[in-house]
Amino acid sequence: MSDKNSFEKNLSELEQVVKALEDNEVSLDKMIELFEKGVGLTKECTNALNAAEQKITILMKNRDNGEMTEQPFNAE
C-alpha cells in the first residue's frame, strides 16, 4: 500500500473515531478505547506528513544553461 493510501486510510479512520466520540451513546470504556486509537492514528498521520514535507524539493531553472536542478525545500 502506498504512503498516500495509508495516510488517507488513517485519516478516514480518524474521522470515524471523532464521529464515534461525538456520539452520546458511547460508553466511557469505549470512549477511552476510541481516544487511544485516535491518538495513534493522529501520530501516524503526523509522521506521514512530516516524511512528505522532508521529500519536497523545488526544481529551479538554472538561468545560465537552462538545466533543471533539484534543491531542497526550505520552509522558512
Domain boundaries, the chain: 3-72
**Among 2-11, 18-27, 39-48, the least confident range:** 2-11
Predicted pLDDT of residue 58: 46
How far, in Å, CA of 38 to CA of 17, rounded? Answer: 6
Mean pLDDT score across all residues of the chain: 81
DSSP state, 45? H
Question: Is 60 exceeded by the pLDDT of residue 10?
Answer: yes
Phi and psi at residue 52, in whole multiples of 5°? Answer: -65, -40
Within 8 A by CB and 6+ apart from 53, the residues are 73, 75
How far, in Å, CA of 19 to CA of 9, rounded? Answer: 15
